[in-house]
Structure 1
Amino acid sequence: MIQSHFKHWPVRVPYTLTVPETTLYENLELSAKRYPDKTAIHYYGAELTYKQLLKETEALAGFLEKKMGVQKGENVLLFVQNSPQFVIGYYAILRAGGVVVPINPMNTSEELRFFINDCELKTGIVGQELYAKVLPLLDSVPMKNVIVSTYSDYLQAGSPGHGIPEEVKMGPIELGQTGHIHWKDALSSLEVPSQMTASADDLAVLPYTSGTTGLPKGCMHTHRTVQANTFGGYHWLNATSDAVCLATLPLFHVTGMVHSMHIPILSGATMIMMTRWDREYARNTIRDKEVTHWITISTMLIDFMANPSLKKEDMASLMNLAGGGAALPAAVGERLYQLSGLKFIEGYGLSETIAQTHFNPPDRSKLQCLGIPSFDVDARIIDPVTCRELENGEEGEIVVNGPQVFLGYYRRPEENEKSFVEIEGKKFFRTGDIGKRDEEGYYFIVDRVKRMINASGFKVWPTEVEGMLYQHPAVMQACVVGVPDERRGETVKAFIILNQEYKGKIDGEEIIAWAKEKMAAYKYPRMIEFRESLPMTSSGKLLWRKLQEEEKQKVMG
């Protein structure tokens, strides 16, 4: 194990951390015993104590088990935006012995169909504004049991009208389907779950990531692997029971899941939940609720810092500001420091590692840097072809071994074979990211081995977008690349050769509008360029990298 980074390790923090043998659910149980009347969740003016959070989680778990037949080890869909229902739903699935399958609410019906079939989901918890995406699938998927959540159930009389998203204000909708029930009715049945038998090595969650085939893959995480990063982040970022944590990152995503939900629950802190990002609401909330911890992504922070109303006093309570997604521009980092005295603590991780494998030391962070390996993480740089280990300063693939590394991809044995490499008798996960390590043990990202686009922290797989574009009758050939974007980090551009009969009869805006209907909002192309031909190798492979380089050169100037 390379140890040069220990010289810059956070002070008064041990180099190693023993992962507890307990489950994630027991973190909630213990915090509810310790801090029963403390606010666990603040939601647009409403508050839920730890005692209430535990009580509702138990009731929902009882309903899932006794009325919907959820069994130990069964996968259960969680298709809900940031809300009390996401937290309660997640922990209730664990309490019932199930495995949480958290899916991005931006996915379309067709995309959702894949996840339901891939995980053989029979039961789901669905936000009511997403219910219309589920209904068309019911005749052709195994899922029959649905609990529909209405976010306004958790608003209180006198909740402020300003800043509340429309889907949070909505009253309950009509269901009228056998096996479908409103959240409130599920809770009011007051079913009591059986004794919990889950252990640290049972599966807890299957977050999905895009892979080399272009199809999403479920990452198998146990209570133990998730606890590794929950306890790791808790110690690294000094989360205490008096922390006030702003939850703006989507909780279905591993960074938001661990840092905005699991860590606050472990520490008995308060989560301030936002269903939709709103920089002005965030500014007022940080100031008025004296937020201490905010884990975000650089694109969100760039938008926040661009708010002309932002003042020094708005950020006075913040003690920790951390995240990742993409490198934070130096100018934004400098303005942040001038306004708050804080440096953005950048980190690095993947769905396969349930968030961080690397973190910048809070008191010695470097800008546009992944940081140093976290607790008990052995990170190396290897030649991606020969797998030979490389030295400081040499560019190669980042590989990691650590307690947070997943067991493998769900039902993807071939992918699992290719995803790991053995070094010195240890199994390392191949991240697919090209990076380098400096002489102090800090890691920097250079490029991606995988042809992945990172748009506002969301990973977009070009072949998936291309596959959808080929369904349009005008498209003869398509090549999708990521192009630099000041706000999103990267954005999606498609180069298209039109079928002869459509030339001069269709424009890029029409194809964008069509794609917008077919794909999640973060995936569809924002730019279309028509070409007569696309660069190819002699064997007929598309030279997508050449197109991507041309776009980068345009931006650089």
Structure 2
Amino acid sequence: MFTRHHAVWPDDLPKHLSVPETSLFNNLEVSARRFPNKTAIIFYDTLITYTELLREVEAMAGYLRHLGVAKGDRVLLYMQNSPQFTIAYYAILRADAVVIPVNPMNHSAELEHYLHDTGAAVCLCGQELTGFISPLVGTAQLGHVIVATYSDYVRQPTDLALPAEVQAPAVTPDFAGAIAWSEALNAGHKAGPHTAGPDDLCVFPYSSGTTGAPKGCMHTHRSAMATIIHRVVWTNSTSESVILATLPYFHVTGMQGAMSGPIYNGGTAVIMTRWDRTVAAQLIERHKVTGWVNIATMAIDFLSDPDVERYDLSSLVSVGGGGAAMPKAVEEKLHRLTGLRYIEGYGLSETIAATHINPVPRPKPQCLGIPVFDVDSRVIDLTTGQELGPNEVGEIISRGPQLFQGYWNRPEETERAFIDLDGHRFFRTGDMGYYDEEGYFFLVDRVKRMINASGFKVWPSEVESLMYRHPAIQECCVISCPDPKRGETVKACVVLRNGQAGQVSEQDVIDWCKAEMAAYKAPVFVEFVESLPRSSTGKLMWRALQEEENRKHAIRAQEA
């Protein structure tokens, strides 16, 4: 068991944490019994109590059973952050079924994969997305689509700027298999006994991995419960905690930290359907938000708002996340405004959120953190599989109570995802990193993203981290560029800070990099761009830039 980090373990936390041996639905049931009139959800100034939330979950679960959903069946959940997402998620669990959370940016061709892979017969869908799912009714087993309108849950007047999807009025769905949300809720069907236990399947977040089609990560109620209570305890959350939900709920960090976490301890989730930094600041001030789980790019955007200091952010006691490098200047601004340090963490779909979080009393910048409760993490040599020591770069492997059961219907890929070490089964994360003398883990890069320049291994995120020190650079992404002599060489796509265009050249950045880092790491090419492509969760889509660079090179080669 890795214990090097125990010396920096928070004094007020136990090193072992027992995970409740119940279903996730039981968390809602208990909180509704304890706090019936307490606010469970705030949706753009509309308050929903735990009693109301549980009642609608029970009603929707009854309708799912009426449609034939049985224990262990997979049900697609295809919508943006909203009260209906939470209701649908817990209704599926109440019906003893398995949630298949789908990225709302997916279109019909991508949805076909989920339908064929899971055999789902029912989908709960946001109204704005019906154009993508309706043509697929009859595909695989899909027979029914329950359609939700977000504006139905804006029941109180608000001066907040609402996204178009939340403003849109209800439209009666008229395609085959369509069922209006209100019709399902008001049908009066009962769900019957809830029988799911800790080792029953609960949710399949899909992981894109490094190759091939997305794969369903099979999580039980037990593994999902683990990361819910880990974050709650790590951040000292209570029933009085108010959590701002800006990360998409289909993604494990938002799902666990900002939806299921508050439900577990009877707290309140303040839900935003789409990211808007001004609305986020207004919600923090208006509803006295205490915790905000985000990704670094979201925090960067929030803190770069010139008006952010106008808002009262004093209620915040915890701000953290991960997903990208947090520039030091931005972290310092957060500390100046709130007195808080940005608490970074690390996890994957396969671990349904964090396996590592920085200790709140002693966080380190641009660091994954330390292994949390009952997690054993190591670093191994990519070639030999031998365990490495401090400051030696290799693949991060982990085992713990939040680990998934494997990839749905992919036994061979599941087998390749694990390795035996010291008589234990560890998950191979595919991430290259190291730990320091104190047991803090640091990410170097994805295994598949390494650049091989004349035999030297270049990890793009390391180069990016160094480049963020340049005062003119707002954002950057490092990719490989084919080179006839080196095999591959380094290229950086750079977004300049406001006012820097024309003040600094691409060659200036190249020269600066050569002076600041080893020659083999320094970008040979720099290209200024207006923006960098990002996923719906805000993660940098480096593959899109890499594929475009490869395409350009192929065209040049043909022309030559």
Indicate whether the TM-score tops 0.5: yes
| Helix, strand or coil at the partner of 2:312 | helix
Farther-moved stretch of structure 1 (209-218 vs 526-535): 526-535
Matched to 1:316, the amino acid is: S
Query: Which string of whole-angstrom CA distances, capped at 9 and with x for unpartnered residues, describes residues 350-383 of structure 1?
Result: 0000000000001110000000001000000000
| Pair 1:292 & 2:285 matched | no
Matched to 1:37, the amino acid is: N
* Residues 134 and 176, structure 2, Cα contact 8 Å, conserved in 1: no
Q: Which residue of 2 aligns with 1:266?
A: 264
Q: Output the CA distance in 2 between the equivalents of 1:366 and 1:523.
A: 25
Q: CA 1:441–1:99 in structure 2 vs 1: closer, same or farther (change >3 Å)?
A: same
Paired residues for 1:212-223 under 5 Å:
212-223=210-221
| Helix, strand or coil at the partner of 1:357 | strand
Matched to 2:392, the amino acid is: E
Farther-moved stretch of structure 1 (522-531 vs 112-121): 522-531
Q: Output the CA distance in 2 between the equivalents of 1:323 and 1:195.
A: 37
Matched to 2:416, the amino acid is: K
Q: What's the CA shift for 1:18?
A: 1.1
Q: What's the CA shift for 1:138?
A: 2.3
Matched to 2:267, the amino acid is: A
| Pair 1:351 & 2:374 matched | no
Q: What's the CA shift for 1:327?
A: 2.1
Q: Output the CA distance in 2 between the equivalents of 1:191 and 1:342.
A: 48
Q: What's the CA shift for 1:484?
A: 5.4
Q: What's the CA shift for 1:62?
A: 0.4
Q: Which residue of 2 aligns with 1:9?
A: 9
Query: Which string of whole-angstrom CA distances, capped at 9 and with x for unpartnered residues, describes residues 165-218 of structure 1?
Result: 111111112322343211011001121111011010000000001134321000
Q: Output the CA distance in 1 between the equivalents of 2:64 and 2:491.
A: 42
Query: Which string of whole-angstrom CA distances, capped at 9 and with x for unpartnered residues, describes residues 125-184 of structure 1?
Result: 000000001122224332111100000111114233x41111111111232234321101
Q: Which residue of 2 aligns with 1:231?
A: 229
| Pair 1:112 & 2:111 matched | yes
Q: Output the CA distance in 2 between the equivalents of 1:285 and 1:350.
A: 29
| Helix, strand or coil at the partner of 1:358 | strand
Farther-moved stretch of structure 1 (149-158 vs 297-306): 149-158
Q: Which residue of 2 aligns with 1:73?
A: 72
Which runs of no fewer than 5 residues in structure 2 stay unpaired?
A: 451-459, 465-476, 480-487, 497-530
Q: Which residue of 1 aligns with 2:503?
A: none
Q: Which residue of 1 aligns with 2:29?
A: 29
Q: Which residue of 2 aligns with 1:165?
A: 163
Matched to 2:72, the amino acid is: G
Q: Which residue of 1 aligns with 2:153?
A: 154
* Residues 243 and 258, structure 2, Cα contact 8 Å, conserved in 1: yes
Q: Which residue of 2 aligns with 1:465?
A: none
Q: Output the CA distance in 2 between the equivalents of 1:482 and 1:413.
A: 38
Q: Which residue of 1 aligns with 2:388?
A: 390
Q: What's the CA shift for 1:535?
A: 11
Q: Output the CA distance in 2 between the equivalents of 1:523 and 1:39.
A: 40
* Residues 312 and 340, structure 1, Cα contact 8 Å, conserved in 2: no
Q: What's the CA shift for 1:389?
A: 0.2
Q: Output the CA distance in 1 between the equivalents of 2:292 and 2:209.
A: 29
Q: Output the CA distance in 1 between the equivalents of 2:369 and 2:314.
A: 25
Q: What's the CA shift for 1:335?
A: 1.2
- Runs of 4+ residues deviating >6 angstroms: 452-455, 520-524
Q: Which residue of 2 aligns with 1:63?
A: 63
TM-score, normalised on structure 1? 0.83
| Helix, strand or coil at the partner of 1:450 | helix
Matched to 1:43, the amino acid is: F
Paired residues for 1:323-334 under 5 Å:
323-334=321-332
Q: Output the CA distance in 2 between the equivalents of 1:438 and 1:169.
A: 50
Q: Output the CA distance in 2 between the equivalents of 1:533 and 1:10.
A: 53
Matched to 1:422, the amino acid is: D
Q: Output the CA distance in 1 between the equivalents of 2:26 and 2:448.
A: 37
Matched to 2:116, the amino acid is: N
Q: Output the CA distance in 2 between the equivalents of 1:62 and 1:451.
A: 47
Paired residues for 1:535-550 under 5 Å:
none
Q: Output the CA distance in 2 between the equivalents of 1:386 and 1:70.
A: 47
Q: CA 1:329–1:138 in structure 2 vs 1: closer, same or farther (change >3 Å)?
A: same
Q: Output the CA distance in 2 between the equivalents of 1:533 and 1:178.
A: 45
Q: CA 1:92–1:523 in structure 2 vs 1: closer, same or farther (change >3 Å)?
A: farther
Matched to 1:324, the amino acid is: G
| Helix, strand or coil at the partner of 2:199 | coil
Q: Which residue of 1 aligns with 2:299?
A: 301
Q: Output the CA distance in 2 between the equivalents of 1:87 and 1:102.
A: 11
* Residues 75 and 123, structure 2, Cα contact 8 Å, conserved in 1: yes
Q: Output the CA distance in 2 between the equivalents of 1:138 and 1:41.
A: 32
Q: What's the CA shift for 1:11?
A: 1.9
Query: Which string of whole-angstrom CA distances, capped at 9 and with x for unpartnered residues, describes residues 259-318 of structure 1?
Result: 001110011111100000000000111111111000000000000001010117532110
Q: Which residue of 2 aligns with 1:45?
A: 45
Query: Which string of whole-angstrom CA distances, capped at 9 and with x for unpartnered residues, describes residues 483-533 of structure 1?
Result: 65669xxxxxxxxxxxxxxxxxxxxxxxx9xxx9xxx99699479556454
Q: Output the CA distance in 2 between the equivalents of 1:483 and 1:406.
A: 35
CA RMSD across the alignment: 2.6
Matched to 1:343, the amino acid is: R
Q: Output the CA distance in 1 between the equivalents of 2:278 and 2:244.
A: 14
Q: Output the CA distance in 2 between the equivalents of 1:242 and 1:486.
A: 40
Q: Output the CA distance in 2 between the equivalents of 1:143 and 1:485.
A: 44
| Helix, strand or coil at the partner of 1:130 | helix
| Pair 1:191 & 2:192 matched | no
* Residues 347 and 370, structure 1, Cα contact 8 Å, conserved in 2: yes
Farther-moved stretch of structure 1 (290-299 vs 522-531): 522-531
Q: Output the CA distance in 2 between the equivalents of 1:314 and 1:114.
A: 45
* Residues 40 and 271, structure 1, Cα contact 8 Å, conserved in 2: yes
* Residues 368 and 443, structure 2, Cα contact 8 Å, conserved in 1: yes
Q: CA 1:485–1:145 in structure 2 vs 1: closer, same or farther (change >3 Å)?
A: farther
* Residues 79 and 125, structure 1, Cα contact 8 Å, conserved in 2: yes
Query: Which string of whole-angstrom CA distances, capped at 9 and with x for unpartnered residues, describes residues 433-474 of structure 1?
Result: 00010000000001110349999xxxx9x9xxxxxxxxxxxx
Matched to 1:361, the amino acid is: P
* Residues 106 and 521, structure 1, Cα contact 8 Å, conserved in 2: no
| Helix, strand or coil at the partner of 1:315 | coil
Which runs of no fewer than 5 residues in structure 1 stay unpaired?
A: 463-478, 488-511, 537-557
| Helix, strand or coil at the partner of 1:314 | coil
Matched to 1:380, the amino acid is: R
| Helix, strand or coil at the partner of 2:324 | coil
Matched to 2:343, the amino acid is: I
Q: Output the CA distance in 1 between the equivalents of 2:105 and 2:540.
A: 6
